[in-house]
Amino acid sequence: MIGDFVGTVEHIGIKTTRLRSIGGEQVIFSNTDLTNSRVRNYKRMERRRVVFNVGVDYQTKLELLKDVPAVIKEIIGQTADAVFDRAHLANYGNKGFVYEVVYYVLGSDYTKYMDIQQTINFCVMEEFQKRGIALASPA
C-alpha cells in the first residue's frame, strides 16, 4: 500500500517500480516517490488486528448484556486461526448498546480474514438467537 494505491509489486527497476493494483490496472511509481512515501507491506504481516462492533437492542435485560462479552470470547476462541483479545460494552448507540470486539487473525491473507469474520458473524447471530439477545436495528 502506497498512499491510496494497493497492489502487488510486479517489477522494481532503476527509475520506476510497477505495481498491479487490486483493480487490475498497472500503477507506475518513480522510485523517488516510493522513497518519500510510507509503504505498507501486508504480505509480511504475521497477524491482522480486527476491530468490529456488535449492537444489542436496548430492551435486552442486564443479565443478558453481561453475558455478551463471554459469548463472543467463546465464539472467537473456537474459531480456527482467530485469537480473542477483548470485548466490552463500549457505548450507547442510536439504536442500542454497542460492544467493541477486538481479535487477531493469524496470517495476512485478506480472504482468510473475511472468511473468519463471516464465520464469527454467523455464530454471534446464532448464539444470540438461542439466548434471546436481540441485535440492535440499524440506524
Dihedral (CA of 74, 79, 83, 85) sign: negative
Apex CA 20: angle with CA 16 and CA 21, to 5°?
120
How many residues can be counted in the chain? Answer: 139
Domain boundaries, the chain: 7-40, 47-131
Q: Are 5 and 21 in contact (CB under 8 A)?
A: yes
Instruction: Express each pLDDT in 89-122 by its tens digit.
Output: 999 999 999 999 999 999 888 899 999 999 999 9
Instruction: Express each pLDDT in 69-81 by its tens digit.
Output: 999 999 999 999 9
Q: What share of the chain is helix, strand, coil (3-state, %, to 5)?
A: 35, 40, 30
CATH architecture of 47-131: 2-Layer Sandwich (3.30)
